[in-house]
């Protein structure tokens, strides 16, 4: 069964300027109940890899540098 990849606008945005993942921070990735945040191999920063978000906000609340913004997923807005 052949497959295709579709793009999706994700609700969580990480400010690369503020994110200190290169210093070893993984807080947002650790706390996300749906395990959808990841490290971007290229930039070394955290990002939302899967569009499966409960807009619950631990990622934003616990980020030490206020780098994370949780928006409401597009389909719900």
Among ligand SF4, another protein, none, what does residue 22 contact (CB within 5–8 Å per kind)? none
CB of 70 to another protein, least distance (A): 6
Written as one string, the DSSP assignment of 35-48 is --EEE-TTT-SEEE
- Measured in residues, the chain has a length of 77
Interacting partner of 10 out of ligand SF4, another protein, none (Cβ under 5 to 8 A depending on kind): none
Name residues whose C-beta falls within 8 Å of residue 54's C-beta, 6 or more positions apart in sequence.
Answer: 33, 34
Query: Which residues here bind another protein, judged by CB under 8 A?
Result: 1-3, 30-36, 49-50, 52-58, 61-62, 70-73, 75-77
């Amino acid at each position: 069964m052949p497959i295709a990849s579709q793009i999706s606008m994700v609700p969580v945005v990480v400010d690369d300027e503020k994110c200190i993942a290169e210093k070893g921070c993984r807080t947002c990735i650790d706390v996300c109940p749906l395990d959808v945040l990841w490290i971007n191999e290229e930039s070394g920063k955290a990002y939302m890899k899967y569009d499966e978000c409960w807009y619950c906000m631990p990622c934003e609340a616990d980020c030490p540098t206020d780098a994370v913004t949780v928006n409401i997923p597009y389909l719900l807005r």
